[in-house]
Chain A
Amino acid sequence: MAEPLLSVRGLSTSFRGEGGVVRAVDDVSFDVAAGETVAIVGESGSGKSVTALSVLRLIPEPPGRIEAKAVRFAGRDLGALDASGIQALRGNDIAMIFQEPMSSLNPALTVGMQVAEPLNRHRGMPWPEALAEATALLRKVQIADPDRRLASYPHQFSGGMRQRVMIAMALACRPKLIIADEPTTALDVTVQAQILELLKTLTRESGTALILITHDLGVVARYADRVCVMYAGRLVETGPARTIYETPRHPYTVGLMASIPRLDEEIGRRLVPIEGQPPDLSALPPGCAFRPRCPRAVARCERERPALEPIGPDHHKACWNDVRG
C-alpha cells in the first residue's frame, strides 16, 4: 500500500486554563490518501477543528500544547519542522478554508492582493504576474468580471463570494491538501450547495485531497469518501462513508443517525434523541466519555477507555460493546 498523503498518529492537544488542563484532542490517529475527501464529523467541542488546526500547528502555545507520536505529510516529518518550516507549508502544500470568510480575509487589502499573496510569498512570483494569476483563479471560482473584482475589498462581496475568494486563495499554490473547517456553515442552503459543488469539482480536477470538517451529516454523505467521527476529543468510529452510514457500529454514530430528521423518510416518525447533555471536557468521566449517554454501556465502559480497533475493512470503532446496526 502506498504511503498516505497525510498520516497522523497519537495527536493530543490540550489547553491550560483556570479550571486546569482540558484535553481538546486526545490520542487521535488518521490517514488521508492523495486526492480523497475525508470528513471529520462531530458536535461543538468534539475537537474536530482543533485536530485540523493542530496538524498545521495553528494553535497558540501556550496556552495550547500539541503532542503527537508522528505527523507525516508527503513523506516529510512535520514534527521535525521549525516554525518557519511549517509556515512554508501553510497556504502552499496545505491550504486552509475557514468558516467565517469575513474574519479570515483582511478587510484592508484588495481581494486581488490576498489571492496573489501566497503566489508571491511561496513561489516568489513577481506581483504583476501573481495578480494576473489571481484573475485566473477568481475566474476559476466563478466570480464574474474577475479583472474588475481584483481591486474590490472583501466588504464589497457577499458571504458566498467571500468564500469563493477563500477557495481561490487556497488553490493558488496548487496544494496537495485543503483543510476546510465548516466552510459553508455561515451560508444559506442554496449558496452552500454552490460552494460545496465548486470545491468538489476543483479538488477532483486537480487531485487535491480534502479534509472537510463539519457537523452536517447530509454534507458528509454527499461529499466524503471516508468519515472520522469524533466525540469529546477522541475518534470513536472511522470508515468509508457508506459503511459508516449503512452499518454504523459505535453507539454514538448509531444515535446520531437516528436523531436527525431526513427528507427521504416517512412522515410521522418519532425522532430518537441521544439522551443527556454534551460532555464537559474539563470533567470527563474515566473510561468511555460517551458512557453517561450510552444506551449500550457495559460494566467495562466505566473503568477503561476503549481504543480505536479494526472491526471490518478499513472500519474502526472505539467501543467495548459489540454494537450492530
Chain B
Amino acid sequence: MSAAETLLEVEDLRVHFPVLRGIVFHRPVGTIKAVDGVGFRLARGKTLGLVGESGCGKSTTGLAVLRMLTPSGGAIRFEGRDITQADADTLRPLRRRMQMVYQDPYGSLNPRMTVADIVGEPLAVHDIGTPAERRAATAELIALVGLKPDMADRYPHEFSGGQRQRIGIARALALRPSLIVCDEPVSALDVSIQAQIVNLFEDLQTRLGLSYLFIAHDLAVVRHISERVAVMYLGRIVETADRRDLYKAPLHPYTQALLAAVPIPSPALEAQRAHPVVAGEVPSPMNPPRGCHFHPRCPHAKPVCSETAPALRDLGQGRAVACHLHGD
C-alpha cells in the first residue's frame, strides 16, 4: 500500500451547510455537518469503497473531492496539489483528470443529445482536437465501453439502464481522467445488468490505470470491487481497512451491524446465521447525538461514548477505527 503512489489524499475534510430560516431575512439557525472530519488516501490504479447509509455524507464527500462544493475545512490533495480552496481557473485543467459517474442513468444524460454528442461534449468543452479528431475519439470511447458503433447517433431514451450507464462511463472517460468518483453507479440497475457494469469498471481500471472512489450502500458490491473500504456514519469515518480485514473481522459495532444486516443469498447459510438487529434509525444530521454518533444504537455503548467522540485510531496494518471499545 505505502509503495503505491498516492493519487488522492483527504485530510480532516469538513463540509458544513448552514440551516436558514425566514422568508425575507435568512438567519442561520443551525449547521448540518454533512462531512465532519473525514480523511483517507486513494492510491493510483486502486479502488476505495465508501459505504454507509443515507445521510452519512458519502455523496457529499465525493462532491467535495471533485470540488463541486467548497469544503468548510480540511485538505484535499489531488495528484500532489492542494485543491481545497482552488478557484475555478485553477480547477479547470484539473477537472479533466477527475470525473464522475452518477447513480441515475436516466437523469444524468441530456435527452436531446445523441450518444455521440454526449460522449464527445467534454472534448468540445475543453477544446481538445479538431472536430474530426473528436469524432474519432468519440467512436473509440463508444467501443471501449462495449456499445456498438451504430448506437452513436441514437438518443438516450432508446437505451436500457445498463446501456445508459455505459454512455455515462464513456463520457467520464473522454478526458482521460486518473480519478473517477462513482456515486452508486450500479444501484439503479437490474441485478443481471449490475455484473456487466461492475466487470466493465474492472476492465477499464486494468486497461487505463484508473482510480475509483466507489460510493455505494451495497456492501457485497463494495467488497467485490474495492481493495480498501471506509465506513461512514453521520459525517464521520468510523472504520477503514483493507477489504479482507474489514469483512472478516469488522471492529466497529456499526460495521458489525451493517454486515449482519446484509443477507447472504444462501438459504442454508441464512438458516444457521443469527440475525441480530440494531435498534433505531440514523438520527438527523442537524442534531446528531453527542459523543460517538452511533452510541444511542450501539449494543456495547459505555458512559464515555455519550461524552466524547472517539478519534479514528490507527491500529497499524492499514486499519483504523473510531470507537472507545478499541482504545488503549
Contacts and interface: CB of A to CB of B under 8 A. Distances in A.
B195 A221 contact: no
Given A160-B281, A192-B261, A264-B266, A217 B191 contact: yes
Nearest to B200: A273
Contacts of A218: 220, 262-265
A246 B258 CA distance: 26
B7 interface: no
A272 B202 CA distance: 13
A267 B192 contact: no
B198 A263 contact: no
B218 to A, nearest CB: 8
Given A193-B277, A264-B264, A270 B199 contact: yes
B228 to A, nearest CB: 12
Interface in B222-261: 223-224, 243-244, 247, 257-261
A188 B56 CA distance: 11
Nearest to A200: B275
Nearest to A191: B281
Chain B, interface size category, equals: 35 or more
A270 B195 CA distance: 9
Contacts of A220: 265
Interface residues of A, number: 46
B138 to A, nearest CB: 22
A242 B163 contact: no
Interface in A284-321: none
Contacts of B193: 273-274, 277-278
A126 interface: no
A222 interface: yes
A241 B281 contact: no
Given A261-B224, A263-B219, A271-B224, A189 B190 contact: no
A220 B265 CA distance: 7
B205 interface: no
The 3 A-B pairs at the shortest CB distance, nearest first, are namely: A218-B263, A273-B195, A261-B224
Interface of A: 43-44, 158-161, 188-194, 197, 215-222, 224, 241-242, 245-246, 255-257, 259-264, 267, 269-275, 277-278
